[in-house]
Structure 1
Amino acid sequence: MTVLIRAAEAETLSASGVTLLADVSDTDGHLTSHRSIFQPGKEGAPPHLHREAAELFFVLNGSLRVLTGEDLVTLAQGDFLLVPPNTPHAFEAAGTDPAEVLFVLTQAKPRFGYYRLLESAYQGETDWAAVAETSDLYDNHYVESPAWQGR
């Protein structure tokens, strides 16, 4: 099955900086993918893990600070990172420029509902507790990380 998502047809969530590309319903269950733009000084995602999904990061522009396990790494334009299932990770823009990143999750549950819920929380329309309650539904489990807290 060939999947083509034209840039003009992709749904963009303006408050969170996420552009939805293809969900598992589009890819016959193979993967979900989105592009995000992270503004400097704003956390991209707090520490979390996916029990089932592996997550690929590809930096299109800027640089991204990433927690992977207990390690902090900075990815630059063109860098690739794969975070396996059950590995705590978090990320944010590094430096003074926005970071633009392509994400692909394999063995993923449908994710677009999660990103729309996040958008609603960013806009103040949904309580953040409602986001936390969806951890099993979207395979997004928040965790504590002393390494991330100490950055």
Structure 2
Amino acid sequence: MTTMAPNTGETPRALVVRAEEVEHVPLPHGGGFGLLADAAATGGALGANRLTLGTGADGAGPHLHTRSSELFHVLDGTVEFLLGGTRTTVGAGGLVVVPPRMPHAFGAVRGSTAELLVVLTPGVDRFGYFRALGRAGRGAEGLAGLAGLAGLAAEQERYDVHFLDVPEWRRAPEAG
């Protein structure tokens, strides 16, 4: 992986991440993260990942980001988003941009898998968060060793992921 030069007057360098360099973090619903670029690798410009969701799986429960906008490009399948208090469904080829401080949640619609390109800008180093989500799904100890996502609550500021209690988002797990 070639990283970008920070904004220090150095000659700019492009970030190149080849497929074989992408770290894969499995999730319990059969999906997972492909970690593409963290903020440190982009001079803070952005963070990017590819997220695959299993059938009907939640991608993220209600939360917001205070410092960054989040872009979702639906590459495959259909995704249900909660944006503020409004639900909307977006299919393959669609795009959603969530501004800072807007509560949001998302998941694959029932009966569908989904694949998304997710970009956070300006970037926040969040690969540790995604790895912790993978460990939480496998019941591992450590950052996410507490009951599921509860172990990440202490890390909300660090990762700029501020969890919200929005009972109407609660979705029953997909059967199967």
Question: Aligning the two structures, in what range does the TM-score lie when normalised by the shorter sequence?
Answer: over 0.9
Identity of aligned residues (%): 39
Give the 4+ runs in structure 1 shifted more than 4 A: none
Aligned residue pair count: 151
Q: Structure 1, unaligned stretches of length 5 or more?
A: none
- Give yes or no for contact 1:71–1:147 (8 Å, CA) kept in 2: no
Give the 5 Å matches for 1:44-59: 44-59=59-74
1:2 equivalent in structure 2 = 14
* Deviation at residue 14 of structure 1 after TM alignment: 1.5
1:133 equivalent in structure 2 = 154
What is the aligned counterpart of 1:21 among 19, 36, 58? Answer: 36
Q: Write the letter of the residue equivalent to 1:23.
A: D
1:100 aligned counterpart, secondary structure: strand
* Deviation at residue 149 of structure 1 after TM alignment: 3.8
1:62-92 residue CA offsets vs partner (Å, 9 max, x unmatched): 0100011101010100001100000000011
Q: Write the letter of the residue equivalent to 1:10.
A: V
Q: Give the TM-score normalised by the residue count of structure 1.
A: 0.94
- Give yes or no for contact 1:63–1:95 (8 Å, CA) kept in 2: no
Q: Give the TM-score normalised by the residue count of structure 2.
A: 0.81
- Give yes or no for contact 1:54–1:107 (8 Å, CA) kept in 2: yes
* Deviation at residue 129 of structure 1 after TM alignment: 2.7
1:149 and 1:98 map into 2 onto residues whose CA distance is 18
Q: Which has the larger radius of gyration?
A: 2
1:109 and 1:117 map into 2 onto residues whose CA distance is 15
Bigger relative CO (Cα 8 Å, ≥ 6 apart): 1
Q: Does 1:91 align with 2:112?
A: no
RMSD: 1.6
- Give yes or no for contact 1:35–1:100 (8 Å, CA) kept in 2: yes
Q: Structure 2, unaligned stretches of length 5 or more?
A: 1-12
- Give yes or no for contact 2:57–2:113 (8 Å, CA) kept in 1: no
- Give yes or no for contact 2:56–2:112 (8 Å, CA) kept in 1: no
What is the aligned counterpart of 2:84 among 38, 48, 69? Answer: 69
- Give yes or no for contact 1:70–1:145 (8 Å, CA) kept in 2: no
- Give yes or no for contact 1:45–1:92 (8 Å, CA) kept in 2: yes
- Give yes or no for contact 1:52–1:85 (8 Å, CA) kept in 2: yes
